[in-house]
Structure 1
Amino acid sequence: MFRPVFHLCAATINAYTILYDQLYIVLPLPAKELEDLPLQSRSMFLTMWCLIMQTIFYCIAFMNDIFGSEAKSSKRAPIIRKIKDTLFSLAFPVAIYVSLAFWSIYAVDKQLIFPDHIERLYPKWVNHVMHTTVAIFIIIELLSSYRSYPSRATGFFIIIAFNCSYILWMFVIYMRTGVWVYPIFDHLNWFARAIFITASVCVALTFYILGEKLNSMVCSSTSSPQETYANGKSKSR
């Protein structure tokens, strides 16, 4: 019973936060061209990409709770279970990266990532849903559900494709507007920007491997509900 309730709550909290952001928060933009970006310019932020992905993941996880399977073996799992497992392999490293990157830079100099004039526009609960609970929720998911990771090659392809898509979008915005999405890039030269981006992708891949290893440990040390029930029946006989 915990899993469907948790998945529904996580999806609802994330979806409401996106809706609140779109309806009630008006960001001052440094360039008029940014006003034409999707989601009222929020599509330029990795945070929003992450939050939308997390919302989709928990919706799929909830649907899997109702119509799919939580069996430890997924060899004959329904398609929704396979989608959930594969999406988790992306959702985990992105959520951990967004949370750690944001709060690490915030601790050093918040003006580089969340300037005062922007921070004042966001209620604290919105900021924490975007940058804190995404990591907390995905860790709870890691510890409470069963999943089969895709192959390492497939997983790396997915995480690299996601990161490259966002990086490309960030450069498209810069070429169109002359504005960097994050103020930290204004303080770096092109070589430093390349190092920063490369390091960020490497960190994301590291978090992918961490999620893969932790998942292996969690799923190998526990039994699924179906297995527990079956074992109990066998012993009673």
Structure 2
Amino acid sequence: MSRALFHLSVVTINTFVMWYDQTYITFPFPVKEMEGFPLKSRSMFLTIWCLILQTVYHFVAFLNDVFGTDARSPKKRPAIRQIKDTLFALVFPTAIYVSVAFWGIYFTDKELIFPERIEKLYHPALNHVMHTTVTVFIIIELFTSYRNYPSRNIGYLMTFSLYISYILWFFVIYAKTGAWVYPVFEPLNWPMRFVFIALSLVVASGLYILGEKVNNYVCKTRRQVYTNGTTNGTAKSKKKS
């Protein structure tokens, strides 16, 4: 029950923030051509892609809590559990990357990622839901539930399909508007822009592997509590002499 309440709470918080943003915040874009894209042009930002993805994941996890199973190795995984496990492999690196990239650039020079004219529109709580709690929530999820990662090939295909799709969208917006979505790209020349993107993909790849390794360790060493009160785990017990 507590896990279901956690997932439902995350869905509620994220949905409220997206609703508030769409309803009450008018974004000051640097050029008029940036207006008119989907979601009040918020679709330009990886942050929103991540927030939507997080919300979908936690909703699927909630459905799994109600209709599926969180057992470590069920005899037959329900479809909703398979979807949840696969989605986690995509959600984890995306959430960590968004938080690390945003706050790393913010504390270096916030004008390059969150200019004052934009920051003043957002209450700090809204900003943290978009850029901080996505990581907090997914780390909590990592250590409190079981999951089976997809194969590395499937995981990479899924993850990089999302990232490449965003990068293509990113350049489509530049081609249509003549302006960069993120100010950090303005002072860079073209070679450095591609280096920035390549390094971002390398970091994302590393975060994917990190999530996979930590997940496998956590799921291997955690004890599972059964309904009769007994426990089972893979940690080796000491042999009696």
User: Quick check: TM above 0.5?
Assistant: yes
The question of whether the paired residues in 1 share the 8 Å contact of 2:61 and 2:84 is answered with yes
**Amino acid in structure 2 at the alignment position of 1:88:** F
Could you list the per-position Cα deviations for residues 40-61 of structure 1 after superposition, in whole angstroms to 9, with x for gaps in the alignment? 0100000000000000000000
- Structure-2 separation of matches of 1:7 and 1:144: 11
Q: CA deviation at 1:224?
A: 3.1
Match of 1:213 in 2: 213
Match of 2:180 in 1: 180
Gaps of 5+ in 1: none
- Structure-2 separation of matches of 1:13 and 1:55: 9
Q: CA deviation at 1:33?
A: 2.3
- Structure-1 separation of matches of 2:145 and 2:64: 11
Match of 2:10 in 1: 10
- Structure-2 separation of matches of 1:231 and 1:5: 22
**Amino acid in structure 1 at the alignment position of 2:206:** T
- Structure-2 separation of matches of 1:48 and 1:161: 17
The question of whether the paired residues in 2 share the 8 Å contact of 1:85 and 1:147 is answered with yes
Match of 1:62 in 2: 62
Match of 2:171 in 1: 171
Gaps of 5+ in 2: 233-241
Match of 1:193 in 2: 193
Q: CA deviation at 1:71?
A: 1.0
Superposition pairs for residues 155-170 of structure 1, below 5 Å?
155-170=155-170
Q: CA deviation at 1:74?
A: 4.7
The question of whether the paired residues in 1 share the 8 Å contact of 2:7 and 2:58 is answered with yes
Superposition pairs for residues 1-237 of structure 1, below 5 Å?
1-74=1-74, 76-225=76-225, 228-229=226-227, 232=230
- Structure-2 separation of matches of 1:48 and 1:233: 40
- Structure-2 separation of matches of 1:74 and 1:161: 29
Cα pair distance change 1:233/1:107, threshold 3 Å: closer
Could you list the per-position Cα deviations for residues 177-235 of structure 1 after superposition, in whole angstroms to 9, with x for gaps in the alignment? 0010000000111100000000001100100000000100110011334xx3367399x
Could you list the per-position Cα deviations for residues 138-168 of structure 1 after superposition, in whole angstroms to 9, with x for gaps in the alignment? 0000000110000011111111111100000
- Structure-2 separation of matches of 1:122 and 1:197: 27
Matched-pair identity in %:
56
More moved, 25-34 vs 94-103: 25-34
SS in 2 for 1:72: coil
The question of whether the paired residues in 2 share the 8 Å contact of 1:146 and 1:224 is answered with no
SS in 1 for 2:41: helix
- Structure-2 separation of matches of 1:178 and 1:230: 64
Q: CA deviation at 1:75?
A: 5.5
SS in 2 for 1:229: coil
More moved, 201-210 vs 70-79: 70-79
- Structure-1 separation of matches of 2:75 and 2:178: 50
The question of whether the paired residues in 2 share the 8 Å contact of 1:7 and 1:58 is answered with yes
**Amino acid in structure 1 at the alignment position of 2:55:** T
TM-score where L is the length of structure 2: 0.93
TM-score where L is the length of structure 1: 0.95
The question of whether the paired residues in 1 share the 8 Å contact of 2:223 and 2:231 is answered with no
Q: CA deviation at 1:112?
A: 0.3
Q: CA deviation at 1:73?
A: 1.1
Q: CA RMSD in A?
A: 1.4
The question of whether the paired residues in 2 share the 8 Å contact of 1:74 and 1:148 is answered with no
Deviating above 6 A after TM superposition, structure 1's stretches of 4 or more consecutive aligned residues are none
Q: CA deviation at 1:32?
A: 2.1
